[in-house]
C-alpha cells in the first residue's frame, strides 16, 4: 500500500458553522482545500484506527470527486472499514441510522443541505459521531483548530473506487463496503410507523404529492411512498437526484418551493403535500390550500406522539430551538412534561436525546426529529403526519384547527435577508445589542416590550456553554428574535423570527405575516434593517 504524506498549508477560512463547513464550490475546489479539512477532522479525533466510517452525500455537484478523495484519506488514516452509500449517495438521516446500526466510529456527510447546488453552488462537509449526531461544539472547535495548524495530510495512491455496485472490496487493510442507500432506512421506518394503516389510506383513495426537488430523497420517497405504501405512481415529483438539483433550490419553504406550494393551492390539489431539502433532513407539510408552520407541525406531532406504539411510554420531553415559536410548549404543559429551548443547530439536541430527557425536537427551519436517530429527519416527519391522518381520519387543515382550538394559535414567521454585506450587518447587530436594555418599557405600534436579552445557553447535560446565540425582544403579546445564520457560504444572512399568540377564534384563520405585521414594523424601526442592509424586504418569508 503506497501511503503518502502530502505537504500542505492551512486555509484560514475553515471554521465550522451551524452544521460543519459550507463553502462555494469554487472555494472547495482549491488545491488541498477538501483534503485539509478531512485530515483536520481525523486529527481532531482519537482511536479510530481499525474502526468503521460511514461516508455518503446528497449527490450534489462535486460529491463524486470529494468521496473518492475522502476514501483515500480514510484508508491512509487506517480506518478498518468504510461503509459508503451506492454511487456515493446517502441522505443525512440514512447516514445517521447506518452509523448507529453498524456500530461505526462516525461518519462523514457531504451536503450543503438547503443551499443551492451545481458548479456555482455550495458544498458542505460535516462529521457525525458514533451516536449518529452532528459533531458537538467541542469537536467542531477542535476541527477548526486543526485546520489552522495542518501541515500535511495522508492519502493512498490507488485508482478511484467503483461505487456503483453493492458489495465489498479490500484495499490494504481497509474493507470498502458499498451499501444500498435506501433499504436499511426504509426498514427502520417500517419498525416505527404503522405502514398497514397508511397503505389503507392510499387504498381508500387518499392522494399525496411529494416533491423531492431533484435532491437526495427521490429514491427514498419512491420506494417508501409508492412501492411500500402503495401511493399511486407519480406521487413523487422531481425524483432523480441531480448535481444541480435541476435548477431547483433545494429548500422546502414558501419562497423556494413556490412551484410546489402553488400546486397545493389549486382546486384539484391532492389531500396531502410534502417536500424535503437537499440532504433529506428537512420537510414541509401542506394540505389542500393549507400550509403547516414548522412550529405547529412540531406541536401536532407532540400531540399524537404516544399514539404511535414506537413512542408509547417513552415520551420524556421536547426541545425546540429558542427562535422556534412555542406552540409545542402548550402541548407539553398540558402533559406536565419538560420543554427545553436550545440554540440553533441540531447538534444542541443530541445530548438531551441521548440522556432520554427528550423524545422529540424541532425547529422553525423545517426540521423535526426524535430519539429514533440523532439527526432531523424529513421522511420520518412526513410518515408521522401520514400515520396521524390514518389514525384520526382528519385532514391537514382539521388537525391544525384542532390544535389551535385546544391551545390557541401561535402565529409565526421567519424572515431571512440573504447576501448581505458582512460589515454593516455586524454593525447593525452590535447596535441592537447595545440598545437592548434601553428598549424595556418602550411601546412600538401598540405593543409594549417587557424584557430583552442575549440568548446564552448552558447544556443541561454536558455543561457546555454557547453564548451570544441571538437577541430576544419580548413584548407583552409577542416576540422578535434575531440572529445571523451560520450556514451561508458567503456574505451574511440575517434571520428574523417573529411570533405572537391569540386565543380569539375569529383570528385563527388570519395570515401569519399579516397577524405579525406590527412586530415586523417594530423590528425594522428598532434595528434599522433597511438602513444597515439596504434591503427593503427579506428574500425568504415563511
Ligand atoms: C442546519 C442546522 C439546523 C439549523 C439550520 C439553519 O440545518 O442543523 O439546526 O436550523 O442549519 O441554520 P442557520 O440559521 O444558522 O442558517 P441544515 O438542514 O442546513 O443542515
Reply yes or no on whether the pLDDT at 203 is more than 90.
yes
- Greater pLDDT, 486 or 210: 210
Reply yes or no on whether the pLDDT at 168 is more than 90.
yes
Q: Supply φ then ψ for residue 103, to 5 degrees.
A: 60, 35
Active-site residue, from 44, 113, 350, 370: 113
**The pLDDT value given to residue 131:** 95
Q: 319 CA to middle of ligand 1, Å?
A: 15
Distance of CA 121 to the CA centre of its chain: 18
pTM of the model: 0.95
Instruction: Tell me if 497 CB under 6 Å of ligand 1.
Output: no
Q: Among 491, 296, 241, which residue's Cα sits nearest to residue 408? A: 296
Do the Cβ atoms of 435 and 424 come closer than 8 Å?
A: no
Instruction: Tell me if 253 CB under 6 Å of ligand 1.
Output: no
Confidence class of residue 346 from pLDDT cuts 50, 70 and 90? very high
pLDDT tens across 55-85, in order?
Answer: 999 999 999 999 999 999 999 999 999 999 9
How far apart are the C-alpha atoms of 5 and 487, rounded to whole Å?
32
Q: At what angle do helices 33-43 and 63-76 cross, to 10 degrees?
A: 40
Reply yes or no on whether the pLDDT at 488 is more than 90.
no
3 by Cβ neighbours in 10 Å (0-12 / 13-18 / 19+) ranks as middle
Reply yes or no on whether the pLDDT at 490 is more than 90.
no
pLDDT tens across 408-434, in order?
Answer: 999 999 999 999 999 999 999 999 999
**Sequence-separated (6 or more) residues with CB below 8 Å from residue 534:** none
Confidence class of residue 486 from pLDDT cuts 50, 70 and 90? confident
Kindly list the structural domains of the chain, giving each domain's residue range(s) and its CATH number in brackets, ordered by start: 3-181 (3.40.120.10), 185-407 (3.40.120.10), 409-541 (3.30.310.50)
Instruction: Tell me if 113 CB under 6 Å of ligand 1.
Output: yes
pLDDT mean over 100-111: 97
pLDDT mean over 30-36: 97
How far apart are the C-alpha atoms of 326 and 410, rounded to whole Å?
7
Instruction: Tell me if 485 CB under 6 Å of ligand 1.
Output: yes
Confidence class of residue 125 from pLDDT cuts 50, 70 and 90? very high
Give the mutation target among 18, 95, 115 for probing the ligand 1 site: most ligand atoms within 8 A of CB: 18
Instruction: Tell me if 345 CB under 6 Å of ligand 1.
Output: yes
How far apart are the C-alpha atoms of 126 and 117, rounded to whole Å?
17
How far apart are the C-alpha atoms of 159 and 341, rounded to whole Å?
48
Q: Residue written as cell 441510522?
A: 97
Q: 243 CA to middle of ligand 1, Å?
A: 21
Percent with pLDDT over 90 in the chain: 95
**The pLDDT value given to residue 18:** 84
Is 113 catalytic? The answer is yes
Amino acid at each position: 500500500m503506497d501511503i503518502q504524506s502530502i505537504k500542505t498549508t492551512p486555509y484560514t477560512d475553515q471554521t465550522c458553522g451551524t452544521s460543519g463547513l459550507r463553502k462555494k464550490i469554487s472555494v472547495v475546489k482549491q488545491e488541498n482545500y477538501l483534503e485539509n479539512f478531512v485530515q483536520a477532522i481525523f486529527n481532531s479525533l482519537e482511536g479510530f484506527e481499525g474502526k468503521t466510517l460511514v461516508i455518503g452525500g446528497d449527490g450534489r455537484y462535486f460529491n463524486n470527486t470529494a468521496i473518492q478523495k475522502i476514501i483515500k484519506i480514510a484508508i491512509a488514516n487506517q480506518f478498518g472499514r468504510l461503509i459508503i452509500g451506492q454511487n456515493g449517495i446517502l441522505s443525512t438521516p440514512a447516514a445517521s441510522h447506518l452509523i448507529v446500526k453498524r456500530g461505526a466510529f462516525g461518519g462523514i456527510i457531504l451536503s450543503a443541505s438547503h443551499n443551492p447546488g451545481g458548479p456555482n453552488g455550495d458544498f458542505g462537509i460535516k462529521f457525525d459521531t458514533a451516536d449518529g449526531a452532528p459533531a458537538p461544539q467541542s469537536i467542531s472547535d477542535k476541527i477548526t483548530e486543526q485546520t489552522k495548524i495542518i501541515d500535511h495530510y495522508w492519502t493512498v495512491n490507488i485508482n478511484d473506487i467503483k461505487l456503483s455496485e453493492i458489495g465489498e472490496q479490500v484495499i490494504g487493510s481497509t474493507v470498502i463496503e458499498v451499501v444500498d442507500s435506501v433499504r436499511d432506512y426504509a426498514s427502520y421506518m417500517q419498525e416505527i410507523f404503522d405502514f398497514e394503516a397508511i397503505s389503507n389510506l392510499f387504498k381508500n383513495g387518499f392522494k399525496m404529492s411529494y416533491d423531492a426537488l431533484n435532491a437526495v430523497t427521490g429514491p427514498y420517497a419512491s420506494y417508501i411512498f409508492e412501492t411500500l405504501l402503495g401511493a399511486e405512481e407519480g406521487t413523487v415529483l422531481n425524483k432523480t437526484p441531480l448535481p444541480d438539483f435541476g435548477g431547483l433550490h433545494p429548500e422546502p419553504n414558501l419562497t423556494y418551493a413556490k412551484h410546489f406550494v402553488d400546486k397545493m393551492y389549486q382546486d384539484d390539489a391532492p389531500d396531502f403535500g410534502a417536500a424535503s431539502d437537499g440532504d433529506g433532513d428537512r420537510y414541509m407539510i401542506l394540505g389542500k390550500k393549507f400550509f403547516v408552520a414548522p412550529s405547529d407541525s412540531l406541536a401536532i406531532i407532540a400531540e399524537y406522539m404516544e399514539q404511535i406504539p414506537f413512542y408509547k411510554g417513552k415520551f420524556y420531553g421536547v426541545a425546540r430551538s429558542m427562535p422556534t415559536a412555542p406552540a409545542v410548549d402548550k402541548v407539553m404543559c398540558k402533559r406536565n412534561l419538560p420543554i427545553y429551548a436550545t440554540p440553533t443547530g441540531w447538534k444542541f439536541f443530541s445530548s438531551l436525546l441521548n440522556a432520554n430527557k427528550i423524545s422529540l425536537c424541532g425547529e422553525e427551519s423545517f426540521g423535526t426529529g426524535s430519539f429514533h436517530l440523532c439527526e432531523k429527519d424529513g421522511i420520518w416527519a412526513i410518515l408521522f403526519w401520514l400515520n396521524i391522518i390514518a389514525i384520526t381520519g382528519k385532514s391537514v387543515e382539521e388537525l391544525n384547527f384542532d390544535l389551535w382550538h385546544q391551545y390557541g394559535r401561535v402565529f409565526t414567521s421567519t424572515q431571512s435577508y440573504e447576501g448581505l454585506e458582512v460589515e454593516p450587518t455586524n454593525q447593525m447587530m452590535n447596535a441592537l445589542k447595545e440598545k437592548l436594555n434601553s428598549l424595556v418599557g418602550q411601546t412600538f405600534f401598540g405593543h409594549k416590550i417587557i424584557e430583552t436579552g442575549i440568548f446564552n445557553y448552558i447544556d443541561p447535560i454536558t455543561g457546555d456553554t454557547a453564548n451570544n446565540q441571538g437577541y430576544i425582544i419580548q413584548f407583552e403579546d409577542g416576540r422578535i428574535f434575531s440572529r445571523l445564520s451560520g450556514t451561508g457560504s458567503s456574505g451574511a444572512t440575517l434571520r428574523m423570527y417573529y411570533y405572537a399568540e391569540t386565543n380569539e377564534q375569529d383570528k385563527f384563520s388570519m395570515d401569519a405575516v399579516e397577524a405579525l405585521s406590527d412586530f415586523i414594523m417594530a423590528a425594522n424601526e428598532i434595528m434599522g434593517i433597511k438602513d444597515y442592509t439596504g434591503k427593503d424586504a427579506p428574500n425568504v418569508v415563511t
